[in-house]
Amino acid sequence: TRLVRELGAVAVVGHLAVLHGTETLYLVKVDGQRKLPLVTEVGVRLPAALTASGRAILAAEALAQVRAAFIVPTAFVNRTGRGPLNWPALRALLESERAAGFSIEEGFIAEGFSSVAVPVRDHLHQPIAAIGLTFNAADLTAPRRRQAIAEAKRTAAALSHRLGER
């Protein structure tokens, strides 16, 4: 709630999500001042390879572990014609996102929406959740994207610290 409020964006949604197999499971959803028409309600599951939150967690895991979960082609879903549809594409995206320290999704789940996400880590430095922010794609300008990523990283670090991560 504080993250969404501090961003000062009228139309933003904050999420806390975890992985459930090859899916992203949304545990918390906080709307900004103006509600966005998203499918990400609490309890909703979406393909982890397509969501910024799912990939933020996957990018922080060992590639061998991720590969084991995504060994079957049915683990990949095509919702909008964008996003990774096979293991080589997902691996390349995760490697890039791991290096960047955040994940970004632009229209992989729904046309016209973009999300950024960063992992939350436990006391063993393992990724256990993700903090994500979703915007109308047109509202996620380069300065707003930088701000969203920085604020999400700050929030994830604070939550990770509360979970014992050093």
Cα 114–4–151 angle (5° rounding)? Answer: 75
Question: Is the pLDDT score of 136 beyond 80?
Answer: yes
Task: Write down the pLDDT at residue 133.
Answer: 95
Task: Write down the pLDDT at residue 126.
Answer: 95
Number of C-beta neighbours around residue 143 at 10 A: 8
Instruction: Give the H or E element holding residue 131.
Output: strand 127-136
Look at residue 149 and give its three-state secondary structure.
helix
At 123, list the tokens: 């006391």
**Distance from chain centroid for Cα 86:** 19
Instruction: Summarize pLDDT for 109-134 with one digit per residue, the tens.
Output: 999 999 999 999 999 999 999 999 99
Q: Alpha-carbon distance 7 to 161, whole Å?
A: 21
Instruction: Summarize pLDDT for 50-91 with one digit per residue, the tens.
Output: 999 999 999 999 999 999 999 988 889 998 999 999 999 999
